[in-house]
Structure 1
Amino acid sequence: MNDLAGTRQVNPRWRTLAVALAVLSAVFLVVGGLAWQRVYGRASTQERVALAHGLALHAAELRDTDFVTARKLGMAAVGIHDDEQTRAGLVDTMVEMYGRALSPLTQEASREVTVSGDGRVALSKDDGEANVWDLKPWADPKVIEKPDRIPTLKGHGRSFVNTTALSFDGRTALTGDDDNTATVWDLTDLAEPVRLATMAAGRTTKYTNGVKKVALSRDGGTAVIVNHDGVMTVWDLADRSRPKRLSKTRSNTVPIRDFALSADGRTAVTVDDHNEAAVWDLTTTERPVKGASLDLSQSATRMAMSANGHVVLIGRAGRIEVWNLDDRSHPVRYTTLDVSFDKLYGTYDMSLTPDEKRLLLAGPGGSGALWDLSTPSRPARLATLNGHMREVESVALRADGCLALMAGSSGVSFWDLADLDEIVADPKLVSCGRHDERISEAEWARYAGGVDWSEYRSEDSDSVSVCLIDWWS
């Protein structure tokens, strides 16, 4: 009886210990399971990221040769892992697709392209003359037979055209020639351009390369000519057939690299070979006043100015400086864009929309880089426009930013950017709304790097639906 009683007294303690051990074991199992799950989860996430980036890379490689597959792989990459890299890749593929839907204006090498603000007229310059284009039939996909090139604007006498400019409405054109003259053209009838007048650019004897840049105010009433010597002449074009020279100013003592004029013709900026960027007040056109200089740390290549003259962009090696000219006597550097990853180690040209929100850059990489400057302190890269040429020498944007032109070694091409904002906001949603794409087992085996596809498709399907890939994975 005593032994039985003793046993009964000990058992509760053993039970308590056993329960405690069981609880501890359970805790260890749970903790261990959670730790394993976290490790497994990390591995799974890493696998998805690697797969998505691999598909995005294959998509980029296929853009020039197989758009459909490039689009499918890009959509799948975003569905598997939506990050900046996969999203940017799909945006570039879609933008390029819609750009290529428009035929090139010409496949002859072009060194400069200009477009009117309304997008009705474009000028492309080759070695010696400027070609006039009516863009309406080219931008209309319903027009199957695109027109041949229409008349050219030739230099004065035996001279060659160096540079061009267009008024906002496309009815007035300027050509700057290598004999140091500029010609005013009436483009009211695009089929028959009319030479109205010739203006002297104030030639000196130091350099003999003629006119470097010409510019027109938005209304076409003011013209500015800058020659390689640094002589700037301002002209009144109220009567286009009888231009009146308002002033002649020695803007620089060394050759000019670039020149920009505000839409109202009251603010200008010059950049010379000594890396000086000078701001000019042309409010009194008879007496231009040289104001402050921008403090450039490196050699400047090209620049662009906003329509109101309050923002100017200076391009140099791999960087774009954004300057605020609200106070022309005290320019302030807003920010700097690093464009080196766009292969723009030297910026050949740039175009800025009048509202300062969209910027197109061109450089030696054979493509253009499109940027969003809506918030100047936080510029954002939007897309790459592949020019399919060795070098893009000149770019132009329509005033609303919905049409882009690029000129270079392979001619002039243009891009429909009307849906760009929608595409950038959600490229997969836009693409799925237009295309129902599927990746076959053979394609998955070829591009997915050996990853099991069962996680990314429905069990009863023999292919992967790229628009539903995030549902099944």
Structure 2
Amino acid sequence: MVYGLVFTRTGHGLVVVDSAEIRIWRLHGIRRPTPGPQLLASGNARDVRITHDGRTLAAACDDGVVRLWDLTDPRRPGAVRELPAEHRKLVSVSLGEDGSRVAAGSSEGAAVIWTRRSDGTYRRADTERFQSSVAEAALTPDGRRIAIALSTGAMWLCGLDRRAVCTRRYAADHVGNLAAGLGYSADGRYLAEAGSRGTLRLRDPASGEVLLSLPNPRPLQSLTWASDRPTLYTGSADGGTAHRWSLPLPILLGHTDTISDLALHDRRSLAASAAHDHTVRLWSIHDPHHPVPRGLLRHPTAVTALALHPSGTRLVRGHRRRQRPPLGHHRQTPPPGHRQAPRRIHHLRRLRP
């Protein structure tokens, strides 16, 4: 069984983690690959990752050790470094962009974080423990935050200080099914989650809020981001199907309820969206295929309508006004088919040029 695949920095080699060993295979165009250096003569590795620059390879092993190799020259890999986790059955591993931080998840209910010292050695900085098995753990490219997915479907986020210690742990939106894959995009703008029931979710990287759910007809097994562009690849658990998703999508992400109105200002390349989640979101649409968030306006009730002033510097928003009935008054239910006109209160907001 193959547990992981990663290309070397030049693309001339492929690291294969299977049930027998970890080995670099030499690629020769369309010709059959030939075996290269063997990194580990054991089949206990369960996950493998490589840094953005291709210099550091990490493997999470079932014996509770993360193993690192220097692949600056894939033809002559550096000696293995071993990072004991004090928890067996490691199932996932993640690296910061430069390899200075390493994280691993264990099915024994722990996520372990290491940080690199100035002399190049690593020390175990923190261990986060949970009541359930850890299915996936992912570091942001800058190594300042970690996302941890549990076998129950719950997800936790931790902010890491300069010592790589979790200073605040908080729960993200719980959607109810196991994350079979988890990873931050190379620019850190998205946290992607491959749901075991077939849904690909994009989350806010800081809060974990679900921004967008993309259905997939088959259960998902894995995901990976391209290192040089916002492109996501997913693999299904049955049927051997893989999909490619190009991001960012030309979709205004972030609302959590019905979007009631939209307003555009072509000259200022500005868009505004109103929703029943009590918010108005502002967007820069200089490139319509890559909308950029510009601001968030909150309101105590659902926003039902909006308009942008011709100058593009003011916004009017309307909502259904809630009125308290007089003391002792019993509110009557309107007859079927009756539609009550919304009572709109207009608020002016001056926008930054």
Global fold match (TM > 0.5): yes
Pairing 1:296–2:136 present: no
1:394 is aligned with what amino acid? S
Equivalent in the alignment of 1:328: 163
Measure the CA separation in 2 of the matches of 1:304 and 1:185. 26
3-state SS of paired residue (2:197): coil
Equivalent in the alignment of 2:191: 359
TM-score (norm 2): 0.63
Match of 2:220 among 368, 386, 392: 392
Confirm or deny: 8 A CA contact 2:184 2:190 kept in the other structure: yes
Equivalent in the alignment of 1:416: 246
User: 1:397/1:240 Cα in 2 relative to 1: closer, same or farther (>3 Å)?
Assistant: closer
- CA offset at residue 171 of structure 1? 5.0
Confirm or deny: 8 A CA contact 1:174 1:215 kept in the other structure: no
Match of 2:55 among 221, 235, 260: 221
- Structure 1 residues 25-36: aligned runs within 5 Å: none
User: 1:387/1:169 Cα in 2 relative to 1: closer, same or farther (>3 Å)?
Assistant: farther
Work out the number of aligned pairs and report it.
260
Measure the CA separation in 2 of the matches of 1:186 and 1:421. 41
Confirm or deny: 8 A CA contact 2:104 2:137 kept in the other structure: no
- CA offset at residue 238 of structure 1? 2.4
- Structure 1 residues 38-187: aligned runs within 5 Å: 128=1, 161-167=2-8, 170=11, 172-179=13-20, 181-186=21-26
Tell me which of the two structures has the higher relative contact order, counting C-alpha pairs closer than 8 angstroms and 6 or more residues apart. Answer: 1
Equivalent in the alignment of 2:178: 346
Confirm or deny: 8 A CA contact 1:246 1:286 kept in the other structure: no
Equivalent in the alignment of 1:261: 95
User: 1:335/1:196 Cα in 2 relative to 1: closer, same or farther (>3 Å)?
Assistant: same
- CA offset at residue 367 of structure 1? 1.5
Structure 2: which 5+ residue stretches go unaligned? 265-287, 289-335, 338-353
2:88 is aligned with what amino acid? V
Measure the CA separation in 2 of the matches of 1:356 and 1:402. 10
Please give the per-residue CA displacement for 1:320-356, whole angstroms capped at 9, x wherever unaligned: 111112333531235321232xxx4222111211332
Identity, in percent, stands at 19
Runs of 4+ in 1 over 6 A off after TM superposition: 423-430
Structure with the larger strand share: 2
User: 1:220/1:172 Cα in 2 relative to 1: closer, same or farther (>3 Å)?
Assistant: farther
Query: Which segment drifts farther, 392-401 or 361-370?
Result: 392-401
User: 1:292/1:184 Cα in 2 relative to 1: closer, same or farther (>3 Å)?
Assistant: same
Match of 1:270 among 97, 104, 107: 104
Equivalent in the alignment of 1:308: 142
Measure the CA separation in 2 of the matches of 1:195 and 1:404. 29
Equivalent in the alignment of 1:405: 233
- CA offset at residue 315 of structure 1? 0.4
TM-score (norm 1): 0.49
